[in-house]
A and B are shown apart, each in its own frame.
Chain A
């Protein structure tokens, strides 16, 4: 037998993404590439005011246009679809996919056109005339809490979607609140830091906007829906329910998805409407979001104010923490809207052994696009509030920002560590990550560089931030959708492997990492493996990709399904080779008896035997395909440390990020190249938020940043080189030891950059400045009379 090539082990290697050649050559298939015979095009008439009563909608001119198939108002759609469901247990006002009586944010759908092509559809939209009675726009979230200038939903007094919810020390499951420990901590404090901080609103801005093709086949009574979604199985569940179909009658397909960042978890009005229209008309229909729509119709992220109080001793020991959170959730609850800010509460303990924490959360409706998950989803906000407060403490005590943190770390021997917020941190070594970051940044030298620059009159500052986040989302007790994942691994008759995953990727590189794992598991070339995803007709079950869970949960179940089919294949091999199945080695495309390489049989030969098993070994059924469900017992808690150096132009206030260092601990790394790419993307979005990205509304509730001419999408030229390193602290939560990394970069970067800006402005006595670091804002600080004390928070 010819010698097989020796196959290298791939897990842990920098394997290039198998997805990339088709993506960068324009050979991938996105929703907009789907074309079906007889397909009609849908366009939405959207409200151009933030708040108002619909007096009258005149669709007659649109309906009369050549090429227009149908026009629907909100009232028409309400007959076809029940109100939109949400995925959290919070109370929620009725939310119709298309507004019926009242519009509550600019961009809310008010009518729908179905037409021959996109252009006719858009022309018809322009021909629809809507007559509004404008109502006062609720824009300022803290004013909104007083019911002024209007109440958006009659059943939600003072616009409170979720009135004050407490959590932390002394809060019991039955809702009782005992403040004594927190009060005692503040009574014992030698120094108290108090600051209002704004974590402002962002537009997720995936390069591929959303899109839907819905195809109801009346003859079969089944629906196929293509959508640019992060979770086709969840989409299927909701589309079936709202269209009165069974889940067996709906097939949901996420083809190539050009970025999601959390905003494509939601099931949106457009998905419901397209499916309902296709069912009503019996024809396939398509809708593709244009960029202007994406800014108003796709959920926004962040937008939460934190009133932070931190109690400490003068030696830097943190005694207690209070954070009062006010979340501006926009006009409606979407799928996870109400739950996102609870993650901010959940992570208030950060990396610190603080024993007294009180957080409270109020969620408020305003006349803006609804918020929901955006990369990091609640955890970057927590990190920002706590880390900025830690930095202010260091500044107040004239301590090194690294040392004040080190003094308060949860120690490695304290894991698993139950926080005051009820989270159980799985594993961690925060001191190690901090040390590594100080080392790669050359911290002492960096401080000298800063001081030398200052001596020349330059405004240069350093920022440092720790972070810990919650990833690998599960178990089911923590996720209303179910906190598991599913995989099926099939050894095909020719010995190649196809595997399905419910963790539907949109940039995570699962086709590569999962194939790396299977290649090692079976000892076959990675080229012989295909990872299938994103189609409920192919992938039996799944939850989806969000919360940095695809590797930790989806990767684990892939490994487990692989183990099952490997065990069965070993039985076939043992029978064929008259060997003991426990003595077999899978390597280099063969299966051999351990220590007897001459016994090796080609992998493909065993596969072929399993499908034509003559004779059929006793106790075995033919075939090699096994599936697995698995859910973790707990989340994972990756962590890290970011350091930045930033300069502010004394004359203009323009900030320039000079250096950025990131040390991330995501547990065991399957593919360090993909991990670095994920961190790069996360850093870009974190730095973007800190420095240039901000969704702004006028006092009338008009979106002022409705295009990339005004909303600054970060580009490569906006960044210095990222200097990165990792520490590896495996999680005990899953057998891979992998924690998750998709969101990590967004966590440490914002506080680290703002702290660097405050450091750069230290000669002006500034203690805090809100993001984003708009040049004019910084210039005004530089221009203002110097403050010897007091809070410098401006926004």
Chain B
């Protein structure tokens, strides 16, 4: 790694990390798994003067049940999410999405908080957070706050996070009838299109639906048209097929790159929406 020169410091508490962030006046970067930041530093696209390592702050990593909700700490690595028996049991969507990230080496180091803060347009977690209607827990110098996933992802590499704030974790109500389906980019294993879908089903009817798409647009988005078509409809394959058909048709700004054109991405949104919904429905049974 031939980055520009930088200092490194390890924070022992969130307060310490935030104080250092403040002190650095924007020249610091938080380091957890480093799997988004370090590649950028290698290419000198990011040149922080100091890295504040938050990976070992006590209590920042871990998966736990709090009442009827699940909390995942920001420093939890993808591998731990992918292999958590709790999550596999009560919310398989997030475990299967984590298992599809990058490769094993990436999953061993990359963290949930890092992925959310970086908000790569093709990252897997943002779609999952949207489908889970998750709350992103954020700590600043003087207060803590919650940002709903729906408003957290603002645009390309742009999230609702201040320069002196740190994501501490996420919280969501687990849902079993939810699934993630993804078209892999074969080099990076980022999503060309990834769809996370969660269905609340009661008495054979879809009470509510949340569908998040990543990879297709500059930042992850809810597919509200699909959600509306599903809500109140019969929980059946035909319903899903009908609702998926025009998934994403109203999206503007579809990504286009070497790996997939705009047309192809657009065509893949219904395919993966249908697959995610079908898998979610299968889990409801």
Contacts and interface: CB of A to CB of B under 8 A. Distances in A.
B2 A718 contact: no
B183 interface: yes
A651 B187 contact: no
B4 A709 contact: no
Given A652-B183, A710-B187, A713-B187, A292 B43 contact: yes
Interface string B1-15: 011110000000000
Majority secondary structure, A binding face: loop
Nearest to B274: A651
B66 interface: no
Contacts of A652: 183, 268, 271
Nearest to A717: B103
B260 interface: yes
Interface in A698-718: 704-705, 707-713, 715, 717-718
Contacts of A775: 183, 260, 264
Contacts of B5: 119, 123
B2 A118 contact: yes
Interface in B251-279: 258-261, 264, 267-268, 271
Given A652-B268, A708-B187, A776 B2 contact: no
Interface string B184-207: 001110100000000000000000
Contacts of B264: 775-776, 779-780
A777 to B, nearest CB: 9
Given A123-B4, A292-B43, A715-B103, A776 B261 contact: yes
A411 interface: no
Interface residues of A, number: 31
B44 interface: yes
Nearest to A290: B2
Contacts of A783: 267
B33 to A, nearest CB: 16
B39 interface: yes
A190 interface: no
A732 B245 CA distance: 65
Contacts of A780: 264
A705 B258 contact: yes
B188 A710 contact: yes
Contacts of A651: 271
Contacts of B42: 290, 292
Contacts of B39: 707, 709
Interface string B147-191: 000000000000000000000000000000000000100111010
A201 interface: no
Nearest to B43: A292
Contacts of B4: 119, 123
Majority secondary structure, B binding face: loop
A776 B185 CA distance: 11
A92 interface: no
A692 interface: yes
Interface string A105-138: 0000000000000110011001000000000000
Given A119-B5, A292-B43, A712 B187 contact: yes
Give the interface size bracket for B toward A: 20 to 34
A696 interface: yes
A287 to B, nearest CB: 12
Q: Of residues B2, B39, B260, B267, which shows the largest number of chain A Cβ atoms within 10 Å of its Cβ?
A: B2
Nearest to A691: B186
B258 A710 contact: yes
A113 to B, nearest CB: 12
B141 to A, nearest CB: 33
A696 B259 CA distance: 11
Interface string A491-533: 0000000000000000000000000000000000000000000
Interface string A291-334: 01000000000000000000000000000000000000000000
Contacts of A711: 187
Given A290-B2, A292-B43, A710-B188, A779 B258 contact: no
A194 B204 CA distance: 58
Nearest to B184: A654
A651 B264 CA distance: 11
Contact of A718 (B186, B259, B271): B186
Q: Of residues B44, B186, B188, B271, which shows the largest number of chain A Cβ atoms within 10 Å of its Cβ?
A: B186
B262 to A, nearest CB: 11
A775 B185 CA distance: 10
A618 B88 CA distance: 83
Q: Of residues B42, B187, B258, which shows the largest number of chain A Cβ atoms within 10 Å of its Cβ?
A: B187
Contacts of A692: 186-187
A654 B2 contact: no
A723 to B, nearest CB: 23
A708 B35 CA distance: 13
A282 B187 CA distance: 44
A136 B267 CA distance: 35
A717 to B, nearest CB: 7
A709 B2 contact: no
Given A119-B2, A713-B187, A126 B261 contact: no
Nearest to A711: B187
Interface string B21-44: 000000000000000000100111
Contacts of B267: 779, 783
A433 B218 CA distance: 52
Contacts of A123: 4-5
A710 B258 CA distance: 8
A696 B2 CA distance: 25
B243 to A, nearest CB: 16
A32 to B, nearest CB: 13
B258 A696 contact: yes
Interface in A270-293: 290, 292
Contacts of A119: 2-5
Contact of A709 (B44, B183, B187, B261): B187
B258 A704 contact: yes
A652 B267 CA distance: 9
Nearest to A291: B42
A780 B261 CA distance: 11
Nearest to B104: A717
A349 to B, nearest CB: 35
A708 B102 CA distance: 11
5 contacts: A290-B2, A692-B186, A710-B188, A711-B187, A712-B187
Q: Which 9 A-B pairs have the closest CB atoms?
A: A712-B187, A776-B264, A122-B2, A712-B186, A709-B188, A692-B186, A651-B271, A704-B258, A710-B187
Given A651-B271, A713-B187, 9 more contacts: A119-B5, A126-B44, A652-B183, A652-B268, A652-B271, A654-B183, A775-B183, A775-B260, A776-B259
Interface of A: 118-119, 122-123, 126, 290, 292, 651-652, 654, 691-692, 696, 704-705, 707-713, 715, 717-718, 774-776, 779-780, 783
